[in-house]
Amino acid sequence: MTTTVKDILLFVPNLIGYVRIVLAIASAYYMPFDYVTASVCYAISVGLDDLDGYAARALNQCTKFGAMLDQLTDRAGTATLVMTLSYFYPKHMFLFQMSLVIDIVCHWLHLHVSVMKGTNHKSMGLDSNPIMKLYYTSRPFLFFMCAGNEMFYIMLYLLHFTEGPIVLGVSLFQYPQSWQEHPIS
């Protein structure tokens, strides 16, 4: 039986990807003024990222479209958060811009080369860069890098609205006053 484009568009991992897009859009909408709703939508969208990959492998529904959808959803979700951080912390806008450019360009180049070679972006040959090989072949390392990056941005986002978690009466994070000249009303 031949798989059609319509079939691929309706594969379970891609349906999960569409839900991630809706959640990312909702999160982006709420980011400037409702950090609780924005954070919940963002967290669910990021959490579904692992689920779509698991579903693709479990249901044998791995496709180039799904890989690109996943990459674009990841990059777009992070981009909305980084753009919001640039708005909240304008003195550090250049750093946020460069972080975003590096993230998008590196992932796009890697994915594009993989598609041109006819391979999966997570398959690494003997001639692969050792860091990229570790990134894509070690699930704990991949999780550590992705979660660390997301947590850094999320914590900066939450610090704009809160003082950080209070443990034993002491704030673990102090709002970095030096990060921002004036609060944005």
pLDDT in tens, 40-78: 999 999 989 889 988 998 999 988 889 889 988 999 999
Identify the residue with better confidence: 1 or 57. Answer: 57
Residue 93 has what pLDDT? 95
Write the pLDDT tens digit of every residue in 127-174: 667 777 777 778 788 788 888 888 889 989 998 898 766 555 555 555
Q: Which domain holds residue 169?
A: 5-179
> pLDDT tens across 8-38, in order?
899 999 999 999 999 999 999 999 999 999 9
Evaluate whether residue 139 is within a structural domain.
yes
**CB atoms closer than 10 angstroms to residue 68:** 16
Q: Is residue 104 part of a domain?
A: yes
Q: Is residue 86 part of a domain?
A: yes
Cβ 175 vs Cβ 168: under 8 Å: no
With respect to residue 13, please indicate whether it lies within any of the assigned structural domains.
Answer: yes
CATH code assigned at 65: 1.20.120
Is residue 168 situated within a structural domain?
yes
What pLDDT was estimated at residue 86? 95
Is 74 one of the catalytic residues? yes
Residue 185 lies in a domain: no
Residue 42 lies in a domain: yes
- How many domains are contained in the chain? 1
Q: Could you tell me which residues come within 8 angstroms of residue 20 by beta carbon, excluding any fewer than 6 positions away?
A: 45, 48, 49, 52, 73, 77
Q: Which of 49, 52, 70, 74 is catalytic?
A: 74
Domain annotation covers residue 149:
yes
The predicted pLDDT at position 123 comes to: 66
pLDDT score for 116: 77
User: In angstroms, rounded to a whole number, what is the distance separating the alpha carbons of residues 66 and 63?
Assistant: 5
